[in-house]
Structure 1
């Protein structure tokens, strides 16, 4: 009985939700946004009692590129190594609703005014839902930064919130993008290298197992949700084709059977609208949420860079021990002494400078 109650208590602790805006000293929200072609301008409203800000309440205009700049600057800050940085919000995508609106405009001549008005109203509601979701993910990103005790004090974060003009940040050039790609490739190679090394710390080993298991389940759930959404959209398209075919047959039929065809076409049109609504709701409420969790868990997976280098050192140490116990000690003695020297020097470096400069140390070897 005791073990069951303890397990349930642990589950309750894990399922506690966090209010991102529970600290009244820095409250951030996005009350308004304006869509201009491919760009979305967000109006960010800030209320604060912190002395580091010049005003207690103000608003600033920002674009999506500004959010990406803020995320990249925090990721590249060495002092934040080992901290889980919230994932950057995805780029606003309104191509789906726009395509549907364009197709609706092309087919306006073949529909009655009532049908056109209903279709337009549905598409406008879908566009508004996508727009609200875009604003929400950008707002949550800022709220997660403001609720963190270290990120909220970041100088670039304060500039992002307080500078009352457009930031006009530049995008990364080809050289910088290639450098980022090369870093990710090296990081992936390191992850493969240390995947077979067992973590000596039991706590980190348990957390790593949980993280990898949770990541695989989230990816699987996301793929299944996307497949389910596509299926609903395909069913809606099929209903649309059936309804159109029945209407065309009814138009060429002057018998008593015409009313039955029109009635069936009306039923399939209602089913199409229902499937479209279900697909849209699942896309916005379920699939997008799972995609956000996927980005979030990826941010957690790439966080412990210092642990990655620690695992690399552990791997070198184990290789050194293997060399020492082998009969031909002289063949790898130089390698062993070199690796031991690197490990000792690395430990001294960590205690002197912290984990944040481990990368510079290893690249200098």
Structure 2
């Protein structure tokens, strides 16, 4: 067989330059499950949004098979409906992947470094050898679909209890049999859905939204609380987070067509119980990350990214991820300090009331009482503002921290596919060299057919590896272009609402002080 290697597009070369390690590449939402013991057999918790300013606890997305064992039926006699105020649904025209993607990448002089599997030959990743240079594909027309999550209900009692949510979908898309339908799902079902989507779409370069994180402490309070003591603020925040998560999935061109997602929002029966939703502790995350790093280190060499677009985007994603985590921690600190300030105002109000009771001057005593009432009103306004600020800004930042980690996973998948292509190319080269040696020895002529078969097999693997690498490169470009536009739209909308609420807060405080002014002026009479 003629040597046609020279006539085929070879995989990109790896550079020999000295590169620094990129630990960020392995921060993953698909870390393996550790041995942490859940609070109950259902383990429905997620991270406390008002606790420590840490975002390390992630919902496990380890790609494990799902058990066919059904969940506890929802028709348990002890069912406690939770009455909470529903926040308005996410703006539907602000899609996770809108059709307009005119965002230019931010340039950076810092060059990212990827770690990849070792090979006999070092070659840089570049698109110069990729034959297809297709333009970025724009998403199709807007999806006419709206998903709301409502009616959080506690099922069961004690630590074996769990929460269910009613998911209502309204759509005119022809892929669905009905225009409006509803199902009941529990929190572990959301985590199981995420696991399935990651296992199928991450290898294609799709940026998959993450569900809300687990919160062991808050969920434990829900489980042990009686009807009147259930923390409705936590439940409503989770309901809102789940609603935003489903709408992000529904407005993605690929994910909305996934059979598992459609079953999740359409199938009225219970879903199979997911076995890969155990919460990761901080120590578990570190152990899992260490295991991944050690495994990759054994198989990798330092490689350089020669594609300018991916180089700039990777640097930008890492910087953005770091800045978002710092910003999220600062907002948590601010929230804690505001709670402390609220407690101080409450103590001040109490002291003013005590002082008013012993004050002999009637007008001054009355003014002190009214001043105490003013401080109480301001305290309540500040508390309400802090909660709204957390919902609008902090939770949005936390969502994008998870999304950026999924972006890093997509980059890692591209690196892995490139390595598979490179390994196949090197193996094909060795097989051809072995065949040449066999042809030079007459006694090994009977081994030539087998050698020819192996060459054909590895030649096919080279072709498939090249096609897969080109496909994921094109997919990541399209996903990131849309991701950038959506990120800007989300933060623009969030900041506008935040400033509007901040203005309303200051106006309320001004009205309170203006109403108190006549009472204070009476002291001069």
TM-score (norm 2): 0.46
Structure 1 or 2: more helix by fraction: 1
1:36 aligns with 2:128: no
Change (3 A) 1:300 1:78: closer
Residue 13 to residue 138, structure 1, CA distance change in 2 (3 Å): same
Summarize the alignment of residues 1-365 of structure 1 with structure 2, pairs less than 5 Å apart. Answer: 13-14=102-103, 22-24=142-144, 27-30=145-148, 32-36=150-154, 39-51=163-175, 53-77=176-200, 80-91=203-214, 95=218, 127=232, 133-167=237-271, 169-172=273-276, 184-188=289-293, 197-251=303-357, 253=358, 255-256=360-361, 258-309=365-416, 349=461, 351-352=463-464, 355=468
Report Cα offsets for 1:314-359 as digits up to 9, x if no partner.
999xxxxxxxxxxxxxxxxxxxxxxxxxxxx999645336659xxx
Q: What is the DSSP-based 3-state SS (H/G/I as helix, E as strand, rest coil) of the residue aligned with 1:45?
A: strand
SS in 1 for 2:102: helix
CA distance in 1 between partners of 2:238 and 2:139 (Å): 20
Matched residue SS, 1:221: helix
Q: What TM-score do you get using the length of structure 1 for normalisation?
A: 0.63
Shift of 1:154: 1.8
Q: Is the 8 A contact 2:149 2:168 kept in 1?
A: yes
Query: What CA distance in whole angstroms lies between the structure 1 residues aligned with 2:458 and 2:329?
Result: 42
Q: Aligned partners of 1:190 and 1:146: how far apart in 2? A: 35
Aligned partner of 2:66 in structure 1 is none
Tell me how far apart the structure 1 counterparts of residues 348 and 293 of structure 2 sit (CA, whole Å): 49
CA deviation map 1:222-258 (0-9, x unaligned): 122222222222111111111123323444x252254
Inter-partner Cα distance in structure 2 for 1:150 and 1:349: 26
Distance 1:350-1:86 versus aligned 2 partners, 3 A rule: farther
Q: Is the 8 A contact 2:209 2:403 kept in 1?
A: yes
Structure 1 residues 350 and 272: alpha-carbon distance in aligned structure 2, compared to 1, 3 A threshold: farther
Specify the SS of the correspondent of 2:315: helix
Structure 1, gaps ≥5 residues long: 1-10, 107-123, 317-344, 357-365
Q: Is the 8 A contact 1:225 1:287 kept in 2?
A: yes
Is this contact kept in 2: 1:146–1:152, CA < 8 A? yes
Do the aligned partners of 2:356 and 2:365 also contact (CA within 8 Å) in 1? yes
Structure 2 CA distance for partners of 1:346 and 1:355, relative to 1, 3 Å: farther
Q: Deviations for 1:87-114, whole angstroms, at most 9, x for unmatched residues? A: 1133589949x89xx9xx99xxxxxxxx
Measure, in 2, the Cα distance between the counterparts of 1:273 and 1:175.
Answer: 35
Task: Say if 1:147 and 1:175 are closer, same or farther in 2 by CA, change over 3 A.
Answer: closer
User: C-alpha separation between the residues in 1 aligned to 2:323 and 2:193?
Assistant: 30
Contact 1:145/1:152 (8 A) holds in 2: yes
Q: Please identify, of 260-269 and 284-293, the stretch whose mean Cα deviation from structure 2 is larger.
A: 260-269
Contact 1:89–1:137 (CA under 8 A) maintained in structure 2 = yes
Paired with 2:303 and 2:347, the residues of 1 have a C-alpha distance of 56
RMSD value, Cα: 4.6
Structure 2: unaligned runs, 5 residues or longer = 1-99, 105-137, 156-161, 424-456, 470-525
- Cα distance in 1 for partners of 2:458, 2:347 equals 68
Question: 1:243-290 CA distances to partner (integer Å, 9 max, x unpaired)?
Answer: 123323444x25225434423322321231232122122111111111
Give the Cα separation in 2 of the matches to 1:218 and 1:45. 32
* Kept after mapping to 1: 8 A contact 2:168/2:180: no
CA contact (8 A) 1:82 1:306 kept: yes
Shift of residue 176, structure 1, vs aligned partner: 11
